[in-house]
Amino acid sequence: MLIRIGFDVSFQLYAPTPMLLMLYTHPTRGGSLLVPERIQTDPFMPISTFTDSFGNRCGRILAPPGRLRLWHEGLVRDTGLPDPVNPSAMQWSIDDLPPDAIQFLMGSRYCETDRLSEVAWSLFGQTPPGWQRVRAVCDWVHNHVQFGYEHARPTKTAYDVFQERKGVCRDFSHLFISMLRCLNIPARYVTGYLGDIGVPICPAPMDFSAWSEVFLDGQWYAFDARHNIPRIGRIVMARGRDAADVAITTSFGAATLSSFAVVTEEVNEHGNLSVSVVPPQSSGLATAV
């Protein structure tokens, strides 16, 4: 399966502004890219790149005052298979976890494990550990939180979501991974592309998506508390403890988002669209500045 991905975002800047860009696909998807990945800028400026502590590819620019446009379009080859499901996957004891998984047991900016620990154990302490416990948490978040773009705000934490029971995809993920960390199950935040492949087309403008990955039986599995079904065509851009680690842009100075569009579409082997699509429009919901 071929998936066309891309974005087109613009900012208004008021002074020379250093910016970090987490707009690349994750290095683990490098072998599936059919064209070189190069973010274009207007006005033109060099982009230096580095790998952060979570293994994400990040860009770095010094943007001049005025309008800044960033865009990219590419093709990714995907298996076309839905997210793996493994009901027999076991939960490892903390003593057996690999060092790089330990950090995903800790509280973080948007995931207050200290405030949710008692809640998590009261709700899920009697469920069988492992896949069944993770599945129970995912089902609970999906069934108890109402999705709506109007519920988004950049300061909303997992505890806020638990109290308000409303949010967007990042909020579903924050509450889900917070509960799991309270239950001693490593869970991390993921952002990337997720198109309407194998599901009814959503009429809303396309956006970057957030989901979660959970460490069970020695590997990471994708879980999505918002959609709560295995999906096809997840293309990871970045992973971290929560949304603070993987903001698609971070500006060190005032920056106003003026336009925002994302596309994720299945195409046939000749590059022509094989599904009907809705043209992307400005939503601005996935950018943190």
Q: For the segment 56-95, what is each residue's pLDDT rounded down to a tens digit?
A: 999 999 999 999 999 999 999 999 999 999 999 999 999 9
The beta strands (E) that lie in the chain are given as 2-13, 17-21, 40-42, 48-51, 57-63, 66-77, 146-147, 166-167, 187-193, 209-216, 219-223, 235-240, 249-251, 255-267
Per-residue model confidence (pLDDT) at position 205? 86
Extract the tokens encoding 90: 């076991």
Cβ atoms 275, 15 nearer than 8 A? no
- What is the Cα–Cα distance from 71 to 60, expressed in whole angstroms? 15
- What is the Cα–Cα distance from 257 to 287, expressed in whole angstroms? 8
Tokens 């250093």 belong to residue: 18
CATH class of 2-80+246-267: mainly beta
Residue type, 111: C
Q: For the segment 90-135, what is each residue's pLDDT rounded down to a tens digit?
A: 999 999 999 999 999 999 999 999 999 999 999 999 999 999 999 9
User: Per-residue pLDDT for 247 more than 60?
Assistant: yes
Higher pLDDT, 273 or 8: 8
Instruction: Tell me what percent of the chain is helix, strand and coil, each rounded to the nearest 5.
Output: 25, 35, 45
Q: What percent of the chain has pLDDT over 90?
A: 89
Mean pLDDT of the chain: 92
Helical pair 131-144 and 169-182, crossing angle rounded to 10 deg: 140
Furthest-apart CA pair in the chain: how many Å?
57
The domain defined by 94-245 carries CATH number 3.90.1150.10:
no
Per-residue model confidence (pLDDT) at position 164? 98
Q: Tell me where in the chain the CATH 3.10.620.30 domain(s) lie.
A: 94-245
- What is the Cα–Cα distance from 200 to 196, expressed in whole angstroms? 7
Q: Tell me where in the chain the CATH 2.60.40.2250 domain(s) lie.
A: 2-80+246-267
DSSP string, 232-259: B--EEEEEESSGGG--SEEESS-EEEEE
Higher pLDDT, 202 or 54: 54
Confidence of residue 19 (pLDDT cuts 50, 70, 90): very high
Cis before 43 (ω within 30) = yes
- What average pLDDT does range 48-63 have in this prediction? 97
Confidence of residue 275 (pLDDT cuts 50, 70, 90): very low
| Sign of the C-alpha dihedral computed for residues 287, 236, 149 and 283 taken in this order | positive
